[in-house]
Amino acid sequence: MAEPVLTIEDLRVEFSTEDGIVKAVDGVSYEVYPGETLGVVGESGSGKSVTVMSILDLIPRPPGKIVSGRAMFKGQDLLTASKDDMRRIRGKEIAMVFQDPMTSLNPVFKVGDQLEEAIKIHDPAVSDDDARKKSIELLQLVGVPNAERRVDQYPHEYSGGMRQRAMIAMAIANEPAVLIADEPTTALDVTIQAQIIEVLKTAQEETHAATILITHDLGLIAEMADRVVVMYAGQVVEVADVETIFRAPRMPYTMGLMNSLPRLEADEERLIPITGQPPSLINVPPGCPFHPRCYLRNGRQICVEENPPLEQVDQPEHLSACHFKQEMKGDTSKFADDEVAS
């Protein structure tokens, strides 16, 4: 494989709250390669968003605190970069698309003005005319109809799906090397989601950006991701290519997640949930954070005593954080149960 464009190493982020220290990100490492879509999945509180917000200096500090780690981007550690450097990188080299477009579009400026500003702030040499022309082109690219007219409208005149398109246009305006999409379709209806997925794919083809797709929606991951990082309680617990993650995961949490999903394409008798509740990040269980809910543990002591490291299993690109990952050899999720004719 080529060199990764962004490498996160052993990132630890804490928040101090009234109830105690929240270990939101607890030793996360992953990297993303040029042109690929890396899916990051996990449930609420798993640390998937905080990880990327931290490396872009977007968490409030305090109460947030980056305890340790590195985030290498083009030979530079983002965590030690100056405010000026970060301003140059954010929005230009690393761009973000958020769940709620209204939080990143300014309601008092026209969509076109905001796009033009995004272009000119990183490249002051661009003329007003060119910036406007490029804004219209970008809106056309993301499928905003009548872009010449809609460029002069305000965000409230756009529907939810259109706002999300405008935000994607803004994110790709400067052809970023890394595009981070945080729950980009979560607030949208199914038919609008389908449109935005197409737009994200187009945007990626146009810019060749490495994409980090953060979501709890496993359907979106199945559709968009090449590789997948699974997070639990602020830690990475499994990394593999998308098919392996869905069909033959080697971490009991991932297996549980897959098997608890209801299916669209078959009638099923009963769902198989993961037992118990997600852990509190103030009081993470000792050892493996998943051990109180794990079906594979069977009372074994090591799961309570030692947090399993993320290690290779089966193939070199497949990593799992489970003491007993070898016992899962040959196990498949329900998605691999029935024969899929090709």
Using CB under 8 A, pick the residue from 71, 173, 179, 258 that binds another protein: 258
Stretch that binds another protein, among 18-26, 71-79, 134-142, 250-258 (CB under 8 A): 250-258
272 touches another protein by CB under 8 A: yes
Q: How far is the CB of 160 from another protein (least distance, A)?
A: 8
270 touches another protein by CB under 8 A: yes
- Compose the 153-192 pattern: x for residues touching another protein by CB under 8 A, - for all others: ------x-xx--------------------------xxxx
19 touches another protein by CB under 8 A: no
242 touches another protein by CB under 8 A: yes
Work out the number of other CB atoms within 10 angstroms of the CB of residue 189.
11
Using CB under 8 A, pick the residue from 49, 99, 164, 195 that binds another protein: 195
Q: Is the dihedral of CA 68, 71, 75, 77 positive or negative?
A: negative
Q: How far is the CB of 32 from another protein (least distance, A)?
A: 18
Cβ atoms 143, 163 nearer than 8 A: no
**DSSP-based three-state secondary structure for 9:** strand
- If the CB atoms of residues 29 and 202 are measured against another protein, the closer one turns out to be 202
The runs of H, that is alpha helices, within 142-240 are 147-150, 160-172, 190-207, 218-224
CA-based end-to-end distance of the chain = 28
274 touches another protein by CB under 8 A: yes
Using CB under 8 A, pick the residue from 85, 137, 157, 243 that binds another protein: 243
Cβ atoms 165, 104 nearer than 8 A: no
- If the CB atoms of residues 119 and 274 are measured against another protein, the closer one turns out to be 274
230 touches another protein by CB under 8 A: no
Using CB under 8 A, pick the residue from 34, 35, 219, 285 that binds another protein: 219
Provide the residue count of the chain. Answer: 342
Burial (Cβ within 10 Å: 0-12, 13-18, ≥19) of residue 316: exposed
193 touches another protein by CB under 8 A: yes
Number of residues that bind another protein (CB under 8 A): 50
Cis, bond preceding 63 (omega within 30 deg of 0): yes
Cα gap 62→108, rounded to integer Å: 29
Backbone angles phi, psi at 84, to 5 degrees: -65, -45
Which of 144, 146, 166, 177 shows the shortest CA–CA distance to 100? 166
**DSSP-based three-state secondary structure for 237:** strand
* Dihedral over alpha carbons 168, 171, 174, 175 (to 10 degrees): -70
Cα gap 148→132, rounded to integer Å: 10
149 touches another protein by CB under 8 A: no
Using CB under 8 A, pick the residue from 264, 298, 301, 316 that binds another protein: 264
20 touches another protein by CB under 8 A: no
Using CB under 8 A, pick the residue from 2, 3, 44, 129 that binds another protein: 44
Binding site for another protein (CB under 8 A): 43-44, 145, 159, 161-162, 189-195, 197-198, 216-223, 242-243, 246-247, 256-258, 260-268, 270-275, 277-278, 335, 340, 342
